[in-house]
Amino acid sequence: MIALLSMAFAAELRDFQMVAVALWPAGVQYSFELEWREPLFDNQHMLLKNSNVGLAIHTDLTPSFWRVGPVLKLEPVAFWDVSIRLYGTWFFGTFSSIIPIEDPFETDATAEWKKEHRELRVGGMGLRVEGNTRFKIKAGPVVAVAELEARYMEVRPWHGEVEYYWDPTEMLDVKLHGWTFHRNLLVAAILQEGPGDKKLWLGGILNWAVCPATEDENLRAGPILWWKPSNQRAMPNILLASQGWWISSFVDPLPPYTWLALRWGNI
């Protein structure tokens, strides 16, 4: 199917799909992305040979929400890329959906209130705009990726009048209309290489998120293991990570954010 579409549009089409299970927050997630990609330069220099501009459609499905929308990507050089995403989101009102919050500035009281009123999850609809940029460095067997991201969200609960809520993907207390900012870092080294592009990476991953409107933030960090058994599309990459919470607005200590993912594709 991908090959037929590529021939029809006279462009390179890439795709990936991923199935992940997590201890927190969404439980299980399926993601799919189909990207139309066009090279920027006819140049074999190591910094320019993979430069491209791309347009994609991306979707995520979890027990909490369904999210879908277009993505515009630009990678002018090997060490830097930028993307803009526009997502429509439908919250089901189920596990880890919108939890209304009365006063996010009463930190301890808000955390206790969330713990006691998690059954008050509500559904709704939302629009999310993301701007993202990444800087990538490779030195021998070590790869590092630093990522900066800004997100603006407009959320409309199906019922109830609230100004703030707890968002299951942000893991933050946020406004119904407002910004969040994210800083992510991945550093990994190749431990093992084999025939057929077989690779095993071990490293660390850090995610730091802030919502200025509610003064809420969270920081989680921990090890990540990435196994690529071959370059065959039928063989998935396997990723396993466990991140402890260094900063969180929850009163009770949270279990580590532990997740396992199977990823297929060539994006």
pLDDT, tens only, 20-68: 998 766 689 999 999 999 988 877 777 777 888 999 999 999 888 999 9
Phi (first) and psi of residue 95, to 5 degrees: -45, 125
Whether 8 shows a pLDDT value over 90: the answer reads no
pLDDT tens for 137-162 read 999 999 999 999 999 999 988 876 77
Per the CB < 8 A criterion, the answer to whether 219 and 194 are in contact is no
Confidence of residue 7 (pLDDT cuts 50, 70, 90): very low
262 Cβ partners below 8 Å, 6+ apart? 18, 19, 20, 236, 237, 238
Please give the model's pTM, rounded to 2 decimal places: 0.87
Confidence of residue 184 (pLDDT cuts 50, 70, 90): very high
Whether 177 shows a pLDDT value over 60: the answer reads yes
Confidence of residue 235 (pLDDT cuts 50, 70, 90): confident
* Chain mean pLDDT for the chain: 86
Whether 116 shows a pLDDT value over 70: the answer reads no
- Closest to 233 measured CA to CA, from 192, 257, 265, 255: 265
Would you kindly state where each structural domain of the chain is located, as residue ranges?
A: 13-87+131-155+180-265
What one-letter code names the amino acid at 159? H
13-87+131-155+180-265 is classed in which CATH architecture? Beta Barrel (2.40)
pLDDT reported for residue 5: 47
Specify the range with the lowest mean pLDDT, choosing from 72-76, 173-177, 206-210, 236-240: 173-177
pLDDT tens for 61-115 read 988 899 999 999 999 999 999 999 999 999 888 766 677 776 666 666 666 666 6
- Closest to 205 measured CA to CA, from 228, 182, 179, 235: 182
